Amino acid sequence: MSSVPLADGELNYLLEGPTDKPVLVLSNSLGTDLHMWDAQIPAFTEHFRVLRYDTRGHGRSLVSEGPYSIEQNARDVLALLDALDIAKASFCGLSMGGLIGQWLAIHAPQRLERVVLCNTAAKIGSPEVWNPRIETVLRDGQAAMLALRDASIARWFTPAFAERAPAQVEPIVGMLAQTSPQGYAANCAAVRDADFREQIASIQLPVLVVCGTEDAVTTPEHGRFMVERIANARQVDLHAAHLSNVEAGAAFTQPVLDFLTAR
């Protein structure tokens, strides 16, 4: 693990794979850290130098005063690329990470090769969903994070997978319980305020949209909304809930790699 200094703290990252390969950036979901991608790393590092990081407010990265914005989180990615002297990279982000990917594809396309938007939407949820959660987390702190951990199992995974694969589920939901309440609430505000519905049509980069057929948070319909508006986008639907990279495993990894390595 390493870190780069930002103006207000340090961003934690991990850079793995051959130095002569193109760079792929992985961006975590709300309430997880860079280890949510562990299952993909062996396959991804065969083709890429993989750069994954803890989004501000998560893992070992800085927890600054909130609320945050998706633009702020995306500019952290640009600062990370600059610090590591990486001119261009492909980007794969899930949920909140997918919002960060949309901002980058709209506002900094010159820094990107290809973009994978997983289990995300041009707008995720409403203030009626996010505001009570922010209020509860700021009021109850770590107790609220533990309650969210239990509730997240049903959102993040199908019941069958949660029952069948506790060894995969437990470390992921454990990340949520360990997330800073201040950082989590600040990022809830970032997700709440992000709305790219009017802007995504400007994206000209190749885009793969990955959806979970059992995802009640960001549905395949949300995916189709993006694909219909982004000229060079296509969609893959997987049997999974919200964290499709964990639940679908190789069924997630292979189409993402096929897209990222296509000539």
pLDDT in tens, 8-65: 999 999 999 999 999 999 999 999 999 999 999 999 999 999 999 999 999 999 999 9
Tell which residue, 242, 206, 202, has the closest CA to residue 222.
242
Closest CA to 153 of 166, 140, 134: 166
Q: What is the DSSP string of 91-121?
A: EEEETHHHHHHHHHHHH-GGGEEEEEEES--
Rounded CA separation 154/161 (Å): 10
Q: Determine phi and psi for 129, rounding to 5 degrees.
A: -85, -45
At residue 53, what are phi and psi to the nearest 5 degrees?
-150, 160
Third-level CATH fold of 2-261:
Rossmann fold (3.40.50)
**CA-CA-CA-CA torsion for 224, 255, 54, 25, nearest 10 degrees?**
-100
Which amino acid, residue 25? V
Dihedral angle of Cα 127, 130, 135, 137, to the nearest 10 degrees = -170
212 within 8 A of 235, measured Cβ to Cβ? no
For the chain, what are the domain ranges? 2-261
> Does residue 92 have a pLDDT over 90?
yes
Averaged pLDDT of the chain: 97
For the whole model, what pTM was predicted?
0.98
Q: Is the peptide bond before 67 cis (omega within 30 degrees of 0)?
A: yes
The CB density around residue 236, as the number of other CB atoms within 10 Å, is 21
Is pLDDT at 263 greater than 90 in this prediction? no
Q: Look at the alpha carbons of 118, 167, 54, 113 in this order and tell me if their dihedral is positive or negative.
A: negative
Tell how strand 89-94 and strand 207-212 pair up.
Answer: unpaired
- What's the rounded Cα separation, in Å, for the pair 172 and 60? 15
CB atoms within 10 A of CB 263: 2
pLDDT band at 150 (very low <50, low <70, confident <90, very high): confident
What are 55-64's pLDDT values in tens digits? 999 999 999 9
With both helix axes pointing from N to C terminus, report the angle between 181-193 and 142-156 in degrees, rounded to the nearest 10: 50
Residue 108 pLDDT: 98
